[in-house]
Amino acid sequence: MDPRRDETQIEMQSCSRRRFLAGSTSLLVGGALGGAVLTYAVAGQAKTAAPASAAPPLPWKWVKLDPLEAGQRAYRNYFDGGCGHTTYYTLLSMLREKVGYPWTTLPDRMMMHGAAGYGGHGTLCGSLGGTALIINLVAYKDKDQMYTQLVDRLFYWYAKQEFPTTMFDDISSMPKQIKVTSKSPLCHTSVSSWTLAAGVEVTSKEKKERCAKVAGETVYVATKALNDYFDGKWTPPAWEPSKDIAHCVTCHGPDDMLQTKEKDGMRHQQGHMECLMCHDDHT
């Protein structure tokens, strides 16, 4: 074995170790300074990155917004990312303009995955998910469940609504589309019921136009509710089961958090959705 080669390898290893220790020291020093500047070693060169500001506790500031402007923005933004993106980003962008920090700290495209019922899975309508996220940020309180009622009643409205309304027909290329009651906050049910009635496929321009209007209507209703809530004028609309499932709720209860007239041992379900859409009436 060549002794000169051994000496070269030892020298290279020693050099690499010194670099590693120097980089480690920089990391430790950066941490010791309380995070004022984070220093790290990459390929032997020191680089710096400013730390992110800590987010303030909830709730974040809400200011009165124009519901119609919010709805129109949501309708237009739909074509840039889908239902979950547009409802979230529309309200975020308006709050950035009127409030600024901390709304400026959130990423624009955080709700892109909400399209088509979250990743195309057809579960919760993304327009509800994006809106609910903002509701939580502005209305959350540890000992006040009103923020959950704001979300619940929005979903309740959605399930009873005939979509799409004519609210955005003046800016739509397809006015006066057929209306169908969603009956559920689920994307699968909402979209499938409409496409079957309209005689179109889910990839059609007609379906996308319909969903853009749904997103706009969802933001419009939520913005009005939040304006009223912060003015002290919002009262949760009473949830009432449809006549088809009233007898189901009598026994099983609407959810596992409310005091109802259910029989002992019969409290098996949670929620306010229509029972008979998923299973038969066992009575």
Sorted by where each begins, the domain ranges of the chain are 15-49, 67-230, 240-283
Check pLDDT > 60 for residue 142.
Answer: yes
DSSP 8-state assignment for residue 144: B
Q: Are 223 and 65 a contacting pair, CB within 8 Å? A: yes
Check pLDDT > 80 for residue 151.
Answer: yes
Check pLDDT > 70 for residue 279.
Answer: no
At 233-245, the pLDDT tens digits run 998 767 676 666 6
Rg, the chain, Cα only: 27
Helix and strand counts by DSSP (H, E) for the chain: 8, 4
The mean per-residue pLDDT over the stretch 128-152 comes to 93
Check pLDDT > 60 for residue 120.
Answer: yes
CA distance 51 to 192: 46
CA distance 220 to 111: 18
CA distance 98 to 90: 13
Check pLDDT > 80 for residue 227.
Answer: yes
- Residue by residue, DSSP assigns 9-58 as HHHHHHHHHHHHHHHHHHHHHHHHTTTSSEEEEETTEEEEEPPPPPPPPS
Q: 226 — phi, psi (to 5°)?
A: -70, -40
CA distance 182 to 169: 19
Which of 146, 125, 137 minimizes the C-alpha distance to 218?
125
For the record, the structure tokens of 152 come out as 């619940």
Task: Determine which of 12-16, 19-23, 193-197 has the lowest per-residue pLDDT on average.
Answer: 19-23
Residue 55: what pLDDT? Answer: 84
Check pLDDT > 80 for residue 260.
Answer: no
Task: Using alpha carbons only, give the angle 160, 221, 121 rounded to the nearest 5 degrees.
Answer: 60
Residue 263 three-state SS: coil
**Top-confidence residue, 85 or 250:** 85
The mean per-residue pLDDT over the stretch 204-227 comes to 98
Q: 59 — phi, psi (to 5°)?
A: -85, 155
Residue 22: what pLDDT? Answer: 46
Q: Are 153 and 199 a contacting pair, CB within 8 Å? A: no
Task: Determine which of 185-199, 233-247, 253-267 has the lowest per-residue pLDDT on average.
Answer: 253-267
Query: What is the CB-side half-sphere exposure of residue 129 using CA atoms within 13 A?
Result: 21
Band of residue 20 on the pLDDT scale cut at 50, 70, 90:
very low
CA distance 232 to 112: 33
The mean per-residue pLDDT over the stretch 65-92 comes to 98
Check pLDDT > 90 for residue 248.
Answer: no
Share of the chain above pLDDT 90, in %: 61
Task: Determine which of 49-58, 144-153, 212-221 has the lowest per-residue pLDDT on average.
Answer: 49-58
Please enumerate in sequence order all residues whose Cβ is within 8 A of that of 277, keeping only pairs 6 or more positions apart, or say none: 183, 184, 189
At 83-97, the pLDDT tens digits run 999 999 999 999 999
Residue 256: what pLDDT? Answer: 46
Q: Give the range with max mean pLDDT: 2-6, 215-219, 278-282.
A: 215-219
Q: Other C-beta atoms within 10 Å of 97: how many?
A: 11
Residue 235: what pLDDT? Answer: 86
Residue 103: what pLDDT? Answer: 97
Q: Which residue's entry shows tokens 């959130």?
A: 106
Residue 145: what pLDDT? Answer: 84
Q: Is the peptide bond before 164 cis (omega within 30 degrees of 0)?
A: yes
Share of the chain above pLDDT 70, in %: 65
